[in-house]
Copies of this chain bind each other. A is one copy, B any other.
Amino acid sequence: MDPEKPDAAPARPKRRFEPADGDYERRVRESYATQTFMQHIGAELGRIEPGYCEILLPFDRRLCQQDGFLHAGVTTTLADNACGYAAYTLMPEGSRVLSVEFKMNLLRPASGESFAARAEVIKPGRNLTVLEGTVYALSGEEGEKVEKEIAFMVATMTRA
């Protein structure tokens, strides 16, 4: 799956941030690799930038709700994780990131060949970081990929 789709939905952050630790991407990837649940559902990290994180998931029939759509719990998992690591990119070395709270609006049935959650920082802070994350359903052939917004999250993350 190619996260670069210039004619599609915003696959890059709208805001720019200066990371406190230039080694942010390595830290994110190392932390991500220890999350057993992300492996259990088959999700992978995509693009990582300061204040931004993308997570990708192929559709899998084991991840569905009663109507055959991706379960809202999975959609939320993608968005929460993307928000968490987007916040983490701006934290100093040695930090841990924890979800304080989040809100999801489910916009459309989660139907697609694969899914991408893209999160970015709205407001960084010493203790609390506020983020927005959008989950997209992707379908179609390479070069004609269609992306639909299926969920929108606002999240508050903290540094521990």
Instruction: Using CB atoms and an 8 Å cutoff, list the residues of chain A in contact with chain B.
Output: 1-3, 6, 14-16, 31-32, 34-41, 61-67, 71-74, 76-78, 80-81, 96, 98-108, 122-123, 127-128, 130, 132, 149, 152, 154, 156, 158
What's the minimum C-beta distance from A76 to chain B, rounded to whole angstroms? 5
| CB–CB B96/A106 < 8 A | no
Inter-chain pairs besides A107-B123, A127-B127, 4 sampled, C-beta below 8 Å: A72-B77, A99-B104, A100-B106, A107-B122
The number of times this chain is found in the oligomer is 4
| CB–CB A36/B14 < 8 A | no
Q: In the complex, A41 Cα to B37 Cα: how many Å?
A: 9
| CB–CB B103/A154 < 8 A | yes
| CB–CB A130/B156 < 8 A | no
- With a cutoff of 8 Å between Cβ atoms, the chain B residues found around residue A96 in the complex are 66-67
Check A100/B123 contact, CB under 8 A, given A37-B74, A77-B76, A80-B73: no
Which of A1, A31, A37 has the most chain B CB atoms inside 10 A of its CB? Answer: A37
Q: In the complex, A111 Cα to B15 Cα: how many Å?
A: 23
Shortest Cβ-Cβ A-B pairs, 9 listed: A73-B77, A37-B71, A103-B103, A107-B123, A101-B105, A40-B62, A34-B66, A76-B76, A36-B64
- With a cutoff of 8 Å between Cβ atoms, the chain B residues found around residue A41 in the complex are 40
